[in-house]
């Protein structure tokens, strides 16, 4: 691990002052610290967000479900309010990583890191969420840009994520056994913005699958996906699965997600 300075601000305003291209914000640390230990990432200064109480918490109102950036996966999974408003989101959080990861990892950290196989990005896209930062609000469709690349500028800090409440939604993933990341994960939602489908694990970053959306817009049923085949050209290719395999698995996971959404 490379040497670095350490700061632990007590407010969002103080944290924002420390943001720069040379500094890194530290949320749950489940990805960043491991990368730094392996010298795959470095920072002149780590800005620990753990002491900022205003970044934690869950609010449900007329705008939807708003989750503070430093709210842990375990807190989302265990929230009675989230379970009532968007049960598929609580279920998603309940199956991220293992108990330690869920206890330490945060929604803001996950979305900021934008791992291509992380679960939350699929929910952000499928539910049409809004990412709130210290500088602006960013629509889900404008946020994910590429491999570990987002619309965030240097020093910009995520403060919260707001999810509109859908009529129906569910997330299903085919889990890579060792990492518990999604080999392919799919969330489908029928909500205020129409039918949306967010996919993770299949490409270099989370994306919306328009083919699934078009089929489900006609009929939000499992049968609407019968015979659907996706282009494998841009799918990931690694030892866990070929592009053709991942393309097929997106449809399989979408079918299971629709089944779960319509059953609840």
**With helix as H, strand as E and coil as C, how does 136-189 read?**
CEEEHHHCEEECCEECCCCCCCEEEEEECCCCEEEEEEEECCCCCCEEEEEEEE
pLDDT of residue 178: 78
Which two structure tokens, joined as six digits, stand for 263? Answer: 């059953």
pLDDT at 77: 98
What is the rounded CA–CA span in Å between residue 241 and residue 183?
A: 8
162 neighbors 196 (Cβ within 8 angstroms)? no
For residues 104 and 26, the answer to whether their CB atoms sit within 8 Å is: no
Q: What is the pLDDT of residue 44?
A: 80
- What is the token pair recorded at 169? 């939604």
Q: What's the gap between Cα 208 and its chain centre? A: 13
- The residue whose two tokens read 């889990």 is 175
pLDDT tens, N- to C-terminus, the chain (264 residues) = 677 788 899 999 999 999 887 788 888 877 777 777 767 777 788 898 999 999 999 999 988 999 999 999 999 999 999 999 999 999 999 999 999 999 999 999 999 999 999 999 999 999 999 999 999 999 999 999 999 999 999 999 999 999 999 999 999 999 988 777 899 999 999 999 999 999 999 999 999 999 999 999 999 999 999 999 999 999 999 989 999 999 999 999 999 999 999 986
Pairing of strands 144-146, 137-139: unpaired
The pLDDT of residue 260? 97
Measured distance CA(244)–CA(164) in Å, rounded: 33
Tracing tokens 């993933």 back to the chain, one arrives at: 173
- Cα distance between residue 129 and residue 140, in whole Å: 5
> 137-172 burial, b for 16+ CB within 10 Å, e for fewer?
ebebeebbeeeeebebeebbbbbbbbbbbbebbbbb
The reported pLDDT for the residue numbered 264 is 63
Return d(Cα 64, Cα 57) in angstroms, integer: 14
Predicted pLDDT of residue 3 = 75
Q: How far apart are CA 23 and CA 148, in angstroms?
A: 17
Quote the CA–CA distance of 197 and 231 in Å, as a whole number. 16
- What per-residue confidence (pLDDT) applies to 29? 76
**The predicted structure's pLDDT at residue 227:** 96
Can you give the pLDDT at residue 233? 93
Structure tokens at 201: 């694990």
In CATH terms, the fold of domain 5-263 is 3.30.465
């Amino acid at each position: 691990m490379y040497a670095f300075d350490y700061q632990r601000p007590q407010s969002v305003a103080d944290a924002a002052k420390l943001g720069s291209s040379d500094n890194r914000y530290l949320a749950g640390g489940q990805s960043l610290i491991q990368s730094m230990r392996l010298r795959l990432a470095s920072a002149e200064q780590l800005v620990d967000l753990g002491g900022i109480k205003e970044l934690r918490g869950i609010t449900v109102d007329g705008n939807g479900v708003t989750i503070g950036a430093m709210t842990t996966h375990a807190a989302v999974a265990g929230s009675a309010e989230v379970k009532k408003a968007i049960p598929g989101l609580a279920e998603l959080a309940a199956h991220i990583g293992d108990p330690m990861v869920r206890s330490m990892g945060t929604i803001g950290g996950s979305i900021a890191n934008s791992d291509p196989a992380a679960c939350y990005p699929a929910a952000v896209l499928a539910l049409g969420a809004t990412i709130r930062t210290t500088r602006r609000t960013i629509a889900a469709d404008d946020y994910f840009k590429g491999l570990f690349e987002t619309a965030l500028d240097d020093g910009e800090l995520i403060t919260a994520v707001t999810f509109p409440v859908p009529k129906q939604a569910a997330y299903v993933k085919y889990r890579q056994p060792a990492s518990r990341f999604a080999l392919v994960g799919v969330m489908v939602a029928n909500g205020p913005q129409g039918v949306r489908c967010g996919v993770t694990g299949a490409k270099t970053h989370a994306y919306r699958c328009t083919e699934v959306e078009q089929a489900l817009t006609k009929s939000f049923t499992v049968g609407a996906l019968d015979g659907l085949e996706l282009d494998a050209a841009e799918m990931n290719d690694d030892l866990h699965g070929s592009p053709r395999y991942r393309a097929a698995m997106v449809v399989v996971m979408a079918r299971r997600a629709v089944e779960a959404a319509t059953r609840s």
